[in-house]
A and B are shown apart, each in its own frame.
Chain A
Amino acid sequence: MERHAPPWWTLAPLAALLVFLIVVATAVGSVSVPLGDTAAVILKNLGFGFLGPVDQKWDAIIFLVRLPRVLGAVIIGAALAVAGTVMQGMLRNPMADPGIIGVSSGAGFGAVTAIALGLTVQGLWYLPLFASLGSLLAAGIIFLLAIRGGKMGIFTLILAGIAVSTFFGAGTSLVLSFSSRDSIAQFIFWSMGNLYNVRWESLALVAGPIGAGMLLLLWFTRDLNILLLGEEEAQSVGLNVFRTRVLLLVLVSVTTASAVCISGPIGFVGLIVPHILRLLIGPDHRLLLPAAALGGACFLVACDLVARLVLGAQEINVGIVTALLGAPYFLFLLLRSEKKETGL
């Protein structure tokens, strides 16, 4: 039988674009480094130093400051887009993203708690730690609420998600209303999502869980395709829908919580990247999920570049850029799907 699935090499242009964006984003900044030198520094630090001599004056700025930030954008963008693709596929809903399982509101509550307790002054790792704990706590509560008698209803999951998110949001507001101006400012800054503080250390911290989460999710691409058939169809071809859903949700929450903990919540990456790619390459997760990883990485690296450059010396938070691009696109999708429904 002939195969009609799109071949893997469809991914090649995206991969090439990502490499190009990484080099450009590392080269461009308040001090511009020639692209060739940038590539040379990156290659040298990857162990390809034998390829040629490197201008030492760029080494620190490229390798210690910019590269970790760009790579942070790569793995966080990839993680959010993969998580979003999985959520949309699993819930068979194009408007779904990991926010549904409370990871953003939980992270916010964790972050505000760390800030209010003054822990952020004591050490760099308390904020990410609390943010990820908050994420997992919120997601855990939502799972427990949604699982009933060996089944997990999608509607219950979504409704429980809304209720728990609202609850954690209120908790965040409550803590904020007793916080100092500085704490509030710190929280707002965090909550807008940024990649300022991404260093090699923070990457080392989250690369493990994010990498593992994404790899495992990539392993479930066939199952995700089958879930698109609908719950009963999936069950009758032999997929244990309940177990698969729980597993996928756990992987999505770990991946997203790890991403969010170093960057703060960055909206719309998980929503629009899967969408655009689904339009371009179709619904097959065996291709869509790796494409989302590459596409999410490209999108966030590009957005972070815009965030750094758009106002000259004054950087803006990358979350603002993704939302400014994402919200109109979301509305466009919404209006288009309504048009389809009403047949206009």
Chain B
Amino acid sequence: MTAPLAARNLRCTIGNKEILKGLDLTLAPGEILGILGPNGAGKSTLLRCLNGLLPSEGTVELHGRLLASLKTRQIARESTLMHQNTSVCYPFPASEVVMMGRYAHQGRFRPESAEDRRIVGEVMNFTDTAKLAAQPIDTMSGGERQRVLFAKSLAQDTPVLLLDEPSASLDISYQEQIFRFAEKLAGEGKAIVAAVHDLRLAARYCTRVILLSHGTVLAEGTPETVLTPAHLQTAYGVRVRVYRNPVTGQLDFHLTEDEIVGHRPHIHVIGGGGSASEVLRKLSGGNCTLTCGVLSPGDSDLQVAEVYGIPAVLSPPFSPIGDQAHQENRLHVAEADVTILCNLVIGEQNLRNLEAAAEARNLVVLEDDNPADRDFTGGRGLEIYRNLLGRATVLESAQLSDWLASRSP
């Protein structure tokens, strides 16, 4: 079967500027292909070329037929483009705007048919715009207008849908809606290409993404393989942390500040049970190399560490720290310029964290709560803890930043 949409060596020059520099893409039915990239990467230009709105070199094929050989009307039966921020400033009722999507299926001698009306009714039900049918489009809210224009595109009844930043400038309540519609349509076998600004939306809804940079494909594949910190740094020129949001389970992105060059002291943070989260957050923006340990999967400290890309020593939960984890932890302690022992709860499982801390060259103990109240080992842990204090700087968490600042040159 031929692909509903395929482009080979697609080039587009506007004025003297080469916007697309030889792109290849193939789209299969049921796919939602996300086109990502910074402003000016060529996302909208690519969609326009795929729909024949802009002249391009190379080939675009719709179901094996060359785009260049098709009439405007024939193209409009194969693929539709929903533009970004279309403003219709004439007071057409929504149903008439949607009916305009049927233009390519009508003839000069064949006006609106019952079939046209049926399809318009269907797509307006699908996009939840049926109740807006009589309302003039120029009086609608952005979300309503976008849905009506989406319905118009759907009324074209094409196997290929091109969406140019369909959620841009919409309220958050509407941003995902268009993508949920797209997901359903892809399930029905439509092939969808969407230029997407929002990396989260792309990661969530696209089955495949293409990352564009300066008119070329930087990476292509599943969102997980394409949306890596390295790719994003190349494309967008910023450092981005990529992690799975523990709440939603979706890929999420966190923009970090630029790295400061120079000597970076190594700080090892010993925490667990949420005690290290605040410390890690505070220190992650600073000029230091961070490690942390020993944490268990499911610990909120570990989630924070993952968000900020901080290496963590792991050990299974609900059991004492294993030998290997302990060794790793000691290694970090040995290498660290400063080791911070957080205001953690002391239990049988994490006694080895205290043992490792004891080996620190330069130990800071954060003590916000009475250690006796935090000890659940019947005094054993408290004893080790007390022994540590003799050779440690004891601070309250709130004092940590000042203390670190006073130490740095």
A residues adjacent to B (C-beta < 8 A):
1-5, 219, 222, 225-226, 228-230, 232-233, 235-241, 282-284
Contacts and interface: CB of A to CB of B under 8 A. Distances in A.
A236 B77 CA distance: 10
Given A219-B108, A228-B88, A282-B91, A236 B81 contact: yes
B53 A4 contact: no
Given A229-B86, A233-B86, A239 B96 contact: no
Interface in B63-100: 71-73, 75-77, 80-81, 83, 86, 88, 90-97, 100
B165 to A, nearest CB: 14
B281 interface: no
Name, among A2, A228, A236, the residue most crowded by chain B CB atoms within 10 Å (CB to CB).
Answer: A236
A206 to B, nearest CB: 26
Contacts of A232: 48, 53, 81, 83
Contacts, number: 82
Given A1-B124, A4-B93, A237-B104, 18 more contacts: A1-B120, A5-B96, A225-B100, A226-B103, A232-B83, A233-B83, A236-B51, A236-B53, A237-B76, A237-B100, A237-B103, A237-B156, A238-B75, A238-B76, A238-B104, A239-B72, A283-B92, A284-B92
A226 B95 contact: no
20 contacts: A1-B95, A1-B124, A1-B133, A2-B134, A4-B94, A4-B96, A4-B133, A225-B92, A229-B88, A230-B86, A235-B53, A236-B53, A237-B101, A237-B103, A237-B152, A238-B73, A238-B76, A238-B77, A239-B73, A283-B92
A241 B76 CA distance: 13
B117 interface: yes
Given A239-B103, A283-B90, A283-B92, A1 B156 contact: no
Given A226-B100, A229-B88, A1 B76 contact: no
Nearest to B125: A1
Contacts of A228: 88, 90, 92
Nearest to A149: B55
A136 B103 CA distance: 32
Contacts of B95: 1-4
A2 B73 CA distance: 26
B56 to A, nearest CB: 14
Given A233-B86, A240-B73, A283 B91 contact: yes
B229 interface: no
B117 A1 contact: yes
Nearest to B76: A238
Name, among A4, A5, A237, A283, the residue most crowded by chain B CB atoms within 10 Å (CB to CB).
Answer: A237
Nearest to A231: B53
Contact of A236 (B76, B97, B117, B124): B76
Nearest to B124: A1
Contacts of A241: 72
A4 B133 CA distance: 7
Contacts of B94: 4
B158 to A, nearest CB: 10
Contacts of A236: 51, 53, 76, 80-81, 83
A282 B52 CA distance: 32
A230 B84 CA distance: 13
Contact of B134 (A4, A233, A283, A284): A4
Contacts of A1: 95, 117-118, 120-121, 124, 133
Contacts of A219: 108
Name, among B71, B72, B76, B97, the residue most crowded by chain A CB atoms within 10 Å (CB to CB).
Answer: B72
Nearest to A5: B96
Contacts of B103: 222, 226, 237-239
Given A228-B88, A229-B88, A230-B86, A240 B71 contact: yes
Nearest to A241: B72
Contacts of B121: 1
A321 B106 CA distance: 43
Contact of B72 (A225, A233, A240, A283): A240
Nearest to B119: A1
A235 to B, nearest CB: 6
5 interchain residue pairs of minimum CB distance: A238-B76, A238-B104, A1-B121, A4-B93, A283-B90
Contacts of B90: 228, 283
